[in-house]
């Protein structure tokens, strides 16, 4: 097992880990060595490396991560959120949201740049169908329609994830209404289905891969449900059952999709059960065995 996953498990268990112990485990990690061997000056490289490092406890203390965060603020932050071009021309709600989520995991939730990205979600991101979006100067029509009559499911879901991580990091109650609205939208889709028929809402939504990419998938969704304390909601059952049917004979899961992009590094390799993806799914599913006191939704 990679020492970065050993650290992740120890932190999740609540073990007391000193910064020195954590850095020792990170510095011995083959995964960390791969993630920090180069810093390429490309926006998508920044995004995927930032997301990957945000999955590792104490990664904020690595000099590479500090340099990467500085680069993200310098090149991608704007007064209205995070943009691949650093201006309106390549601002995409899904990437704004993914960057916010990663920065919140890395302890950056209280920065002005993160707050500005959150404000964009609160002000402009529709969390239901039929909501017109007025954002002069933005050309969302160039990217396949972020805001048609039905908002892009990927952008909406990742914006909901961003609000949840931001709220967990800051305790800011001002995002609660928008977060609740978006959570209900996802649950009304049973997380993975079209409203009109029980078929997958996107081509990759039932794929298993880790860490996240542009393609919203089942691993992200089950972890969101667990973090949001909604595992007892009956509308999560299709996702849970889909994951159980994908379990291998050794009771683990393997990644069946490999995203390819500048800077993206899959945490698991091969067609055997992946240690990372199995751990993340198991952790989420285990939370449904704990009575968190939340009421299930009868349908």
SS (H, E, C) the chain: CCHHHHHHHHHHHCCCCCHHHHHHHHHCCHHHHHHCCCCCCCHHHHHHHHHHHHCCCCHHHCHHHHHHHHHHHHHCEECCEECCCCCHHHCCHHHHHHHHHHHHHCCCCCCHHHHHHHHHHHHHCCCCCCCCCCCCCCCHHHHCCCECCCECHHHHHHHHHHHHHHHHHHCCHHHHHHHHHHHHHHHHCCCCECCCCCCECCCCCCCCCCCCCCCCCHHHHHHHHHHCCCCCCHHHHHHHHHHHHCCCCCCCCCCCCCCCCCCCCCCCCCCCCCHHHHHHHHHHHHHCCCCCCCCCCCC
Say yes or no to pLDDT of 230 above 60: yes
- Chain centre distance of CA 237: 21
Round to whole Å and give the CA distance between 148 and 160: 18
For residues 12, 204, 166, 233, the Cα torsion angle rounded to the nearest 10 degrees is -70
Flag the least confident range among 6-10, 16-20, 133-137, 198-202: 133-137
What pLDDT is stored for residue 127 in this prediction? 87
State residue 140's pLDDT score.
55
Q: In Å, how far are 91, 126, 156, 201 from 104, measured between CA atoms? A: 19, 22, 18, 28
Selected residue with higher pLDDT from 292 and 197: 197
Per DSSP, what are the bridge partners of residue 151? Answer: 147
Give the pLDDT confidence of 98-135 residue by residue, as tens digits. Answer: 999 999 999 999 999 999 999 999 998 888 765 666 56
Q: Between 25 and 130, whose confidence is greater?
A: 25
Q: What was the pLDDT predicted at 294?
A: 37
* Calpha distance 206→216 (Å, rounded): 9
Task: Give the per-residue pLDDT at 250.
Answer: 86
Contact 263, 49 (CB under 8 A): yes
Report the pLDDT value the prediction gives residue 139, as an integer from 0 to 100.
58
89: tokens are: 């021309």
Cα separation of 84 and 79, whole Å?
14
Q: How far is CA 59 from the centre of its chain?
A: 17
CB 5 within 8 A of CB 30: no
The pLDDT score that the predictor gives to residue 14 is 96
- pLDDT, position 76: 97
Q: Is the pLDDT of residue 215 over 70?
A: yes
In Å, how far from its chain's centre is CA 194? Answer: 21
Residue 245 has pLDDT above 50, yes or no: yes
């Amino acid at each position: 097992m990679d020492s970065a996953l050993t650290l992740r498990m120890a932190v999740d268990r609540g073990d007391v880990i000193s910064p020195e112990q954590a850095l020792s485990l990170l510095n011995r990690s083959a995964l960390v060595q791969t993630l920090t061997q180069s810093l390429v000056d490309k926006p998508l490289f920044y995004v995927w490396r930032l997301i990957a490092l945000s999955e590792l406890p104490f990664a904020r203390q690595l000099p590479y991560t500090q340099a990467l965060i500085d680069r993200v603020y310098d090149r991608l932050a704007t007064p209205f959120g995070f943009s691949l071009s650093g201006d309106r021309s390549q601002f995409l709600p899904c990437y704004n949201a993914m960057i916010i989520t990663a920065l919140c995991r890395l302890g950056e939730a209280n920065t002005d740049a993160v707050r500005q990205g959150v404000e964009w979600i609160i002000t402009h991101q529709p969390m239901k169908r039929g909501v017109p979006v007025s954002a002069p100067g933005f050309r969302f029509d160039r990217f396949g329609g972020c805001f048609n009559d039905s908002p892009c499911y990927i952008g909406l879901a990742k914006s909901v994830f961003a609000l949840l991580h931001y709220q967990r990091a800051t305790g800011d109650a001002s995002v609660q209404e928008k977060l609740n609205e978006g959570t209900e939208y996802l649950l009304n889709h049973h997380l993975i289905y079209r409203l009109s028929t029980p078929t997958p809402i996107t081509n990759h939504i039932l794929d298993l891969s880790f860490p996240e990419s542009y393609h919203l998938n089942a691993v992200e969704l089950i972890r969101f449900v667990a973090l949001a304390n909604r595992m007892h909601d009956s509308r999560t059952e299709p996702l849970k059952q889909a994951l159980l049917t994908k379990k291998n004979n050794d009771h683990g899961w393997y990644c069946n999709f490999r995203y390819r992009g500048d800077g993206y590094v899959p945490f698991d390799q091969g067609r055997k059960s992946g240690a990372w993806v199995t751990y993340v799914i198991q952790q989420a599913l285990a939370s449904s065995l704990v009575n968190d006191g939340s009421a299930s939704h009868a349908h």
